[in-house]
Amino acid sequence: MPSASPFITLNTGAQMPTVGMGLWKISKDTVADQVYEAIKLGYRLFDSASDYGNEAEAGQGISRAIADQLVTRQELFITSKLWCTYHQRQHVKPALQRTLQDLNLDYVDLYLIHFPIALKHVPFETKYPAGWSLEENGPVISENTPYQETWEGMEELVMEGLAKNIGVSNLPGAMIYD
């Protein structure tokens, strides 16, 4: 197995590997085996998102690696992302709970706001993952949800132990200056 990846220390003291495996565009049919094999090769950071549509299968690979004692949960650094349709504060926690259920985990190491775009809420029962639109090639319906509201929901996740660290993704720094 290769040596451990270098890491950076986050403001919480958590150590995040600088090399990881992104799960975007990996087929549901292969992602469980790819995650499992990556763990065997020494990967410890996995970057997922509900929008990728493969978190349940990725979770199967993680669970199998833990069950086979290739790794412990504490040795992994799992990242996921809050999709745009869950930016209202009351939807932030249920969105992460769904991700945790899919990944078969009790917490994520890092939970990011995926994009700085709040979209109209779409219930899980209607469409999951919600995507950009309810209909293929349909309109993108934005919603006026301030970043601060979303961020406060994210902070609650940390206080409850569901996410160890939180942050933003795909967001220019200038957009968060207050």
Q: Which residues are catalytic?
A: 52
Angle at 32 between CA 63 and CA 5, to 5 degrees: 75
**Residue 36, CB half-sphere, CA atoms under 13 Å: how many?**
15
Q: How many CB atoms lie within 10 A of CB 40?
A: 13
Structure tokens at 84: 């745009």
Sheet with 77-82, edge to edge strand ranges: 20-22, 45-47, 77-82, 110-113, 166-168
Residue whose token pair is 């933003």: 168
CB of 157 within 8 A of CB of 96? yes
Q: How many CB atoms lie within 10 A of CB 32?
A: 21
